[in-house]
């Protein structure tokens, strides 16, 4: 039997921090199904009371869990009166930090996911544009300005990983497919050789690659296990030859691939 | 005088939860500069001891702050011995949740940002592909399968918002530019009229739009204040006429725009 509990992520900002923070905790309780709801932008007393009503009127048998990231102390106080297990991020850690830093916190709503630093934010947006322009080898323009160049056979996860690196970390991530010519010559194409020091490789297991490719083009040479095996072996050979670090994306999420890539290419901070 | 403190985000997973959670807290302390470092994938005892050394040897005058999201209790115990203010996400809230849910947690590393649910993860990746294919009005194929269609004059933030919605929330987000023809007819193009119920509009202030456009094409008609004002007024008129909800993106981050859009289009959960 699976237990179901209702969960609310509540915030006076976007709710993104509450969702991520709460999800990390809930992931440690596998026997439950969590029915998740996000209530964002609870920015005034009226909204706070409406939120409390919604929590109190949730139809579940047991009281809901509420993960709150509410900076405004008045709103937080109202929310905490809801009939729920109420946990607030700021309640938990701000006092500890205040005592460590020797100052009072200065609550400002929406800092975590707002445009806190305009120039840094502008760089992130420019990085997204860069990554879209340089998706799938579409452009060689400004390839030398890439922070990282993802290289892989088709369908190993280059595109979403590039988008993630630019969107979350402001890295100019280009991505480049390896194609038949490369597999046969066992070399990087000349345009990529120049930026080999920025390259990061992705592979997959032949079985995984076959499954993903079959969704797109079933029963084709492209999705045959022989072709997938050939491409992965050739790509691995190329990566080894140019000393390009690489990971198997088969069992890794894009977040994990991005995180490993930043570590191996020394792109953190 | 600005105080500087060294901060480590430490995790046996990607470090993403630690970064977000810590950043939300640090954002409440404005008088400090935080020198941030992420140490991810601390997955064994040896790595844990190396991490402690790195923390203990950080050159700052005052002890570092450590935000840890370490599921493994043995590794967490080692990290907590570092000479730092050590706060762990799981230490803080897991006991409360265990008592509420009446079960012990079952610690599994990497749940928050791994491929926890393969079919959901596959949908997210498919959504990213969809959004790239439907970026900037490039494709009308499968436009009827969009969850949301962002519509705006050039340079109001359509593309990064679409990428964010697909990457983070698995929403198939198309985006479509409004162009001269639309501004003059004061109507949506016919291909968009069919999906008007899925449309969400973006505008900006003419001043902001001028600034952004000037970076790309300075001293052009495109970046003139008159043209920017004309386009914003026309776009607003179109949105009102078709009852398309819209926001001003000038002072909002993509996370905020995405969050408002999901609320107004009822796309949450």
Q: Which residue of A28, A112, A168 is in closest CB contact with B105?
A: A28
Contact across the interface for B24 and A114, Cβ inside 8 Å: no
- Residue where the block lists tokens 């008088």: B31
Mean pLDDT on B183-209: 97
- Chain B residue with CA closest to A100: the answer is B85
Contact across the interface for A112 and B254, Cβ inside 8 Å: no
User: Which of A33, A80, A101, A150 is the best mutation test for B, with the most CBs of B within 10 A?
Assistant: A101
- Chain B residue with CA closest to A85: the answer is B100
Residue A47 CB partners (closer than 8 Å, separation 6+): A41, A75
**How far off is chain B from A72, nearest CA to CA, in Å?**
11
- Enumerate the residues of chain A whose CB falls inside 8 A of the CB of residue B94: 25, 28
Q: Which residue of A87, A114, A263 is in closest CB contact with B96?
A: A87
Average pLDDT, chain A: 95
> What is the model's pLDDT at position A61?
84
> What is the model's pLDDT at position B2?
65
Angle at A252 (CA atoms; ends A125, A19), nearest 5 degrees: 60
- Chain A residue with CA closest to B3: the answer is A101
**Residue B263 half-sphere exposure, CB side, CA atoms within 13 Å?**
17
Whether residue B186 has pLDDT greater than 60: yes
- Enumerate the residues of chain B whose CB falls inside 8 A of the CB of residue A24: 17, 21, 69, 89, 111-112
Q: Are A20 and B21 in contact (CB under 8 A)?
A: yes
- Chain B residue with CA closest to A106: the answer is B28
- Enumerate the residues of chain A whose CB falls inside 8 A of the CB of residue B20: 16-17, 20-21, 112
Whether residue B163 has pLDDT greater than 70: yes
Whether residue B3 has pLDDT greater than 90: no
Mean pLDDT on B89-118: 89
Q: Which residue of A24, A41, A97 is in closest CB contact with B112?
A: A24
- Enumerate the residues of chain A whose CB falls inside 8 A of the CB of residue B43: none
**How far off is chain B from A25, nearest CA to CA, in Å?**
7
Mean pLDDT on A159-179: 97
**How far off is chain B from A3, nearest CA to CA, in Å?**
9
Q: Is the sign of the CA dihedral A160, A162, A164, A166 positive or negative?
A: negative
Q: Are B11 and B3 in contact (CB under 8 A)?
A: no
Q: Which residue of A30, A163, A255 is in closest CB contact with B113?
A: A255
> What is the model's pLDDT at position A109?
84
Q: Quote the percentage of chain A above a pLDDT of 70.
A: 99
User: In what order do the strands lie in the sheet containing A246-248?
Assistant: A173-178, A148-153, A199-203, A246-248
- Enumerate the residues of chain A whose CB falls inside 8 A of the CB of residue B165: none
Contact across the interface for B113 and A157, Cβ inside 8 Å: no
Please write down the HEC assignment for all residues of chain B: CCEEEEEEEEECCCCHHHHHHHHHHHCCCCCEEEEEEEECCCCCHHHHHHHHHHHHCCCCCCCCEEEEECCCHHHHHHHCCCCCEEEEHHHHHHHHHHHHHCCCCCCCCCCCCCCCCHHHHHHHHHHHHHHHHCHHHCCCCCHHHCCEEEEEECCCCHHHHHHHHHHHHCCCEEEEEECHHHHHHCCCCHHHHCCHHHEEEEECCHHHHHHHHHHHCCCCCCCCHHHHHHHHHHHHHHHHHCCCCEEECCCCCHHHHHHHHHHHCCCCC
> What is the model's pLDDT at position B148?
98
ipTM of this complex prediction, to 2 decimal places: 0.93
Q: Is the sign of the CA dihedral B36, B37, B38, B39 positive or negative?
A: negative
pLDDT in tens, A15-72: 999 999 999 999 999 889 999 999 999 999 999 999 999 999 998 889 999 999 999 9
pLDDT in tens, A4-19: 999 999 999 999 999 9
- Enumerate the residues of chain B whose CB falls inside 8 A of the CB of residue A94: 25, 28
Contact across the interface for A85 and B100, Cβ inside 8 Å: yes
pLDDT in tens, B47-84: 999 999 999 999 888 999 999 999 999 999 999 999 99
Whether residue B1 has pLDDT greater than 60: no
Size of interface A-B (CB pairs under 8 A): 205
User: How far apart are the C-alpha atoms of B165 and B101, rounded to whole Å?
Assistant: 32
User: In what order do the strands lie in the sheet containing A65-69?
Assistant: A32-39, A3-11, A65-69, A85-88
A108: confidence class by pLDDT, cuts 50, 70, 90: confident
Quote the tokens at residue A9: 């992520």
Element (H, E) at B203: strand B199-203
> What is the model's pLDDT at position A74?
95
Beta bridge pairs of residue A180: none
> What is the model's pLDDT at position B158?
96
Q: Which residue of A14, A38, A103 is in closest CB contact with B29?
A: A103
Average pLDDT, chain B: 95
> What is the model's pLDDT at position B61?
83
> What is the model's pLDDT at position A1?
52
Whether residue A116 has pLDDT greater than 70: yes
User: How far apart are the C-alpha atoms of B137 and B134, rounded to whole Å?
Assistant: 6
Q: In this structure, what are the phi and psi dihedrals at residue A43, rounded to the nearest 5 degrees?
A: -105, 0
Contact across the interface for B121 and A255, Cβ inside 8 Å: no
Mean pLDDT on A249-260: 96
Of B25-39, B114-128, B158-172, minimum mean pLDDT range = B114-128
Of B31 and B255, more confident: B255
B16: confidence class by pLDDT, cuts 50, 70, 90: very high
Q: Are A22 and A15 in contact (CB under 8 A)?
A: no
Contact across the interface for B255 and A16, Cβ inside 8 Å: yes
Using CB atoms within 10 A of its CB, is residue B220 exposed (0-12), middle (13-18) or buried (19+)? exposed
Q: Are A12 and A70 in contact (CB under 8 A)?
A: yes
- Chain A residue with CA closest to B88: the answer is A93
Contact across the interface for B17 and A17, Cβ inside 8 Å: no
User: How far apart are the C-alpha atoms of B152 and B200, rounded to whole Å?
Assistant: 9
**How far off is chain B from A192, nearest CA to CA, in Å?**
23
- Residue where the block lists tokens 């199904």: A33
A110: confidence class by pLDDT, cuts 50, 70, 90: confident
Whether residue A182 has pLDDT greater than 90: yes
> What is the model's pLDDT at position A2?
66
- Chain A residue with CA closest to B111: the answer is A27
Taking the model in full, what pTM does it have?
A: 0.94
- Enumerate the residues of chain B whose CB falls inside 8 A of the CB of residue A31: 103, 106
A113: confidence class by pLDDT, cuts 50, 70, 90: confident
Mean pLDDT on A93-121: 89
């Amino acid at each position: 039997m699976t237990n179901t509990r209702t969960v609310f992520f509540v915030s006076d900002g976007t709710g993104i921090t509450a969702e991520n923070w709460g999800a990390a905790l809930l992931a440690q309780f596998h026997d439950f199904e969590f029915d998740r709801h996000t209530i964002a932008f609870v920015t005034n007393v009226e909204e706070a009371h409406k939120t409390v009503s919604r929590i109190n009127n949730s139809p579940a048998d047991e009281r809901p869990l509420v993960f709150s990231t509410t900076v405004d102390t008045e709103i937080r106080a109202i929310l905490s009166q809801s009939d729920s297990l109420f946990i607030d991020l700021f309640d938990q850690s701000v006092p500890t930090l205040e005592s460590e830093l020797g100052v009072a916190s200065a609550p400002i709503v929406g800092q975590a996911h707002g445009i806190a630093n305009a120039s840094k934010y502008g760089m992130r947006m420019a990085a997204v544009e860069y990554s879209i322009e340089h998706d799938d080898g579409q452009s060689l323009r400004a390839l030398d300005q890439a922070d990282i160049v993802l290289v892989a056979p088709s369908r190993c996860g280059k595109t979403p990983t590039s988008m993630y690196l630019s969107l979350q970390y402001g890295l100019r991530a280009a991505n480049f497919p390896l194609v038949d010519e490369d597999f046969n010559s066992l070399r990087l194409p000349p345009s990529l050789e120049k930026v080999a020091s920025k390259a990061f490789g992705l592979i997959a297991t032949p079985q995984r690659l076959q499954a993903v490719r079959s969704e797109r083009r079933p029963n084709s040479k492209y999705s045959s296990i022989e072709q997938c095996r050939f491409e992965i072996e050739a790509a691995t050979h190329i990566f080894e030859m140019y000393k390009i670090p690489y990971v198997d994306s088969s069992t890794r999420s894009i977040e994990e691939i991005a995180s490993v890539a930043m570590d191996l290419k020394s792109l953190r901070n």
